Amino acid sequence: MALREATRTCSDMSKLSKRGAFFESVSRYFDEALPHTGVEPGLAAQVRACNAVYRLRFPVRDDDGKVMVVEAFRAEHSFHRFPTKGGIRFSRSVALNETVALAALMTYKCAIVGVPFGGAKGGVRINPSTASEGLRERVIRRYTAELIRKNFIGPDIDVPAPDYGTGEKEMGWIADTYKDLCMNKADVYACVTGKPLGMQGIPGRASATGRGVYFGLRTVLEVAEDMRALGLAPGMGGKRVIVQGLGNVGFHAARLMQEEGGAVVVGIAEREGGIHHPDGLDVEAVWRHRRETGSILHFPGAENVEDGARLLEYPCDILVPAALENQITAANAERIQARIVGEGANGPVDFEAEEILRRRGIFVVPDIFLNAGGVTVSYFEWLKNKAGVSFDRMMSRHEELLKEELIGKVEELVGRRLEAEQRLRLIRGPGEEELVRAALEQTMVLAFQKIRRIWKEEKLPSLRTAAFVLGIRRVGESYRHHGIFP
């Protein structure tokens, strides 16, 4: 059953979502890329197919003691690799078609960055901003139990992660529930990623998607040929940036672009509106202001923008929509003034808007590459949980001994001993977070180089088309080598 056909079987569910355009965009991106892949039609149909979808309803007691029925989904898009992998989002608007489309993106995203997972996605229809912590816990624990009942979760089956509206707490509750219901397994904590450090999480996971956005955009901006075509100087330094969404992705991406990349963040948009300052905003200070006041509005010295969506149309060099899908559509694409749009969220630019931006010479860095930092570091966490040991424990002391010997020989040759503090700094072995960051950086750089090479050598219409071509080819190749039938 093809991806489009899989959704038709539950057309009544698709009516619940206003995001049908997102599913349609993913389908059209696939269709645009497919003729360039060389993948035979029958195999292409399997690559496109959503292999399994679980739609469920379960009762939970609200805080007032009344029973409420919660609707939820889990889609496992591709079985070319196991386990499948994908986040769980809490939102009143999640629906089957959206969940399937997000699972498909995860399949291609994992293939692009070389992470050996199939794509999956989950959605639970509750409002995370109004639900109490107790209700969220009851919902996610029951959801986990239901997934266990149908074999839709497990370290070697399907591994969830955080997404919109969920975070470390929810992932910790999933791990705890799975551990209690699936005892006597050595790798129970590998059933989910994005967990707290105290539950065998990994340092750097919370900021991984935003950091991946930063590494990806930095790599894009270093290509002088592409920047000249846009009328921009190479490098991130001094580039004016507007970010939509100050959640995990937007905050860390904006902070790193400012602190490490030297960019000037001139605008930030959120649900309650936006703020703008032509000389730049202190991202950390805006974050603190929102935590203290509940809003980014009325930040000292900044202009309030009543409609945050309008801020996307302000002049800038780089626009990073890092909230939800379908933020740039045919309705506003003609008014976008950025030179580069970096998709921090999944599907913020729909298919019609993509064509308009392309015609206007605006460079779109696609989500299936740019926001792959989360699943990349989730892969490292899963490996750590499967192995039962942190990466630095296996190598840090060994590196220190080698460096100590090397520095000792250098000191003998030059006849001078380094100061104790300087010597210690040079000898110290890498910590786990340093290893994670270095591996994430290398992953994003290599993935972009492969996508760009396909884009240029095969003369494809966009970087997104090239990314889909790479993803489809890799999934198809995996099916060829591992066999279609058991």
Give the count of alpha carbons within 13 A of 276, CB side only.
19
Q: Which of 85, 109, 121, 239 is catalytic?
A: 121
Is 121 one of the catalytic residues? yes
Neighbours of 462 (CB within 10 A): 19
CA 172, 174, 178, 181: dihedral to nearest 10 degrees? 110
Closest by CA position to 465, among listed 358, 362, 318: 358
CA 390, 392, 395, 401: dihedral to nearest 10 degrees? -140
From CA 128, how far away is CA 144, in angstroms rounded?
Answer: 17
> Rounded to the nearest 10 degrees, what angle do helices 133-149 and 168-181 cross at?
40
> Rounded to the nearest 10 degrees, what angle do helices 20-33 and 463-482 cross at?
80
From CA 213, how far away is CA 158, in angstroms rounded?
Answer: 25
User: What contacts 414, CB < 8 A, 6 or more positions away?
Assistant: none
Report in angstroms the alpha-carbon separations of 62 from 7, 139, 329, 394, 427: 31, 9, 37, 46, 55
> Which residues carry out catalysis?
121
